Amino acid sequence: MLKIGQFTDTFLPVVDGVGRVVQAYSETLCKMGNQVTVVAPMYDTGFQGGFPFQLVEYVGSSVPGMKQYKVGEAVLDAHYRRRIRMIDLDLIHAHSPFTAGSEALRLAAVRKLPLVGTFHSKYYDDFLKATRSESIAKMGVKLVVSFYNRCDEVWAVGKNTADVLREYGYEGEIQVMPNGATLRTVSPGDVEQVNRRWNLGTDPLILFVGQMDWKKNILTVLEACAEMKKNGITFRLLLAGQGMDMNAISQKIHDLNIQDRAELLGHITDASLLDALYARASLFAFPSLYDAAPMVVREAAVMGTPSVMVRNSTAAEIIRHGENGLLCDNDPKDLARVMTEALKEPEKLELIGQQAKETIPVPWDKVMETAVERYERLVALGKEGKLKDKRKRML
């Protein structure tokens, strides 16, 4: 049995991709007989019991312009310090190079523990959007690389994602540790509930699930749907999620005159309802150029729904065009063309969805078997004194 600390800047009730990966890691590792402690900024002061893992929070503040996210210096929170001192750990796994990563570095150095760091996101894009300065974004990336240089082992969620970290300047070894999926089924009754709730009838459904943030390339989806409407194609578009650009996206739907076809659903907290949406959808439209290994594409595949993604994008690494998904150019008209052609051949699309179900989702249990093997190796190396000097990790 291992005692593992999972450190993240995003966690429940915020359910972005990284937070959901950490939740899946923690639940699966506990199911395998390990003890897990999740360390994250406090998102909800209410009781958050019922987890198989221990959640240790520290006081955080909202990020300007992104109120759904919190940051904070854990070491300044006396209550957190008292709690974390009482918890024994064998290894620390950081899923962020920022404030949670800083605390992971500090604790690993103080306790002389192995440290794993997973690279999840294209941080340069986030820095550039937030600051509108290429020079500041490049400085931010240097700090990101500095963090991963201090880790004993670096993981990336895909080969393409590892290439991004190398482009940022990281020169060390990278282990590819893909995201998994929870294999579930959906009841016909839940799918019918989706039909009734949004009055879908027999119309083909195009679904998007994710943050309501322009960086997800949502504009391309909206403009593609406007093109399809202009060409007389029957469809409905539902977009599930929350985010900083929600109001702007709603306005763009009206500007494109597709408010009779497109609807914003907000954040879906009911997992059964979200599964039913995936299952009801004919296509999952996810042309993001930002995402690395999106959980939502895997969740759609679990329900037998194929994704359409941008050719050569990092996120599309798992898609084989016409076999287990569809690829398009980063262009609204080409996305419209690909979706139109697919919707005209529903039987072929169903076969592609079945191949997506068979080839894309990897059970979290299988992913965690590999993760535990690497954890155990690092713990053994640490006990043998063969890891790098932890003092070099201090920020």
pLDDT tens-digit map of 211-225: 999 999 999 999 999
Sorted by where each begins, the domain ranges of the chain are: 3-180+363-393, 188-359
Task: Give the CATH number of domain 188-359; options: 3.40.50.300, 3.30.1450.10, 3.40.50.2000, 3.40.50.2300.
Answer: 3.40.50.2000
Higher per-residue pLDDT: 392 or 33: 33
The strand pairing partners of 35, in sequence order, are 3
Q: How do residues 327-376 score in pLDDT, each as one tens digit?
A: 999 999 999 999 999 999 999 999 999 999 999 999 999 999 999 999 99
What pLDDT score does 395 carry? Answer: 47
Q: Give the CATH fold of the 3-180+363-393 domain.
A: Rossmann fold (3.40.50)
Banded model confidence at residue 104, pLDDT cuts 50, 70, 90: very high
Lowest mean pLDDT among 44-48, 135-139, 300-304: 44-48
Q: Please indicate whether the domains covering 3-180+363-393 and 188-359 agree at the CATH topology level.
A: yes
Q: What is the percent of the chain where pLDDT is above 90?
A: 83
- The chain-wide mean pLDDT, for the chain, equals 93
Which band of pLDDT confidence, cut at 50, 70 and 90, is reported for residue 391? very low
Q: pLDDT tier at 46 (50, 70, 90 boundaries)? A: low
Check residue 341 and give its pLDDT.
Answer: 98
Give 71's pLDDT tier (boundaries 50, 70, 90).
confident
Residue with the larger pLDDT of the pair 356 and 121? 356
